[in-house]
Amino acid sequence: MQASDRFNINSQLEHLQAKYVGTGHADLNRFEWAVNIQRDSYASYIGHYPLLAYFGIAENESIGRERYSFMQKMLLPCGFPPEREED
């Protein structure tokens, strides 16, 4: 692997990180990463009707109630953020 290949890979990664929030960046902490993953998952569940129907059947709830439940969970998917230590 040459130096130009590494630069190209890094520039592509930076482009993806700027374009898509969920891909993360160097300053992303563990909590923020987990929140992104949970919100992406809930959004996928809501957006794909067969998956939403599966959850509704599995939990014996209506599809509308499941959709509402997932939207409520998107607000704080991992609880409150931990307090940051000031350096």
pLDDT band at 58 (very low <50, low <70, confident <90, very high): very high
pLDDT value, residue 85 = 75
**pLDDT of 15 over the 70 cut:** yes
Residue 32 CB neighbours (<10 A): 15
Which residues, 6 or more positions from 45, have their beta carbon under 8 angstroms from its beta carbon? 51, 52, 55, 70
| Residue ranges covered by each domain of the chain | 28-77
Chain segment 70-81, per-residue pLDDT in tens: 999 999 998 888
In this model, does residue 32 exceed pLDDT 80? yes
Distant-in-sequence, close-in-space partners of 74: CB < 8 Å, separation ≥ 6: 38, 39, 42, 43
The arithmetic mean of pLDDT across residues 17-35, rounded, is: 79
**pLDDT attached to residue 51:** 96
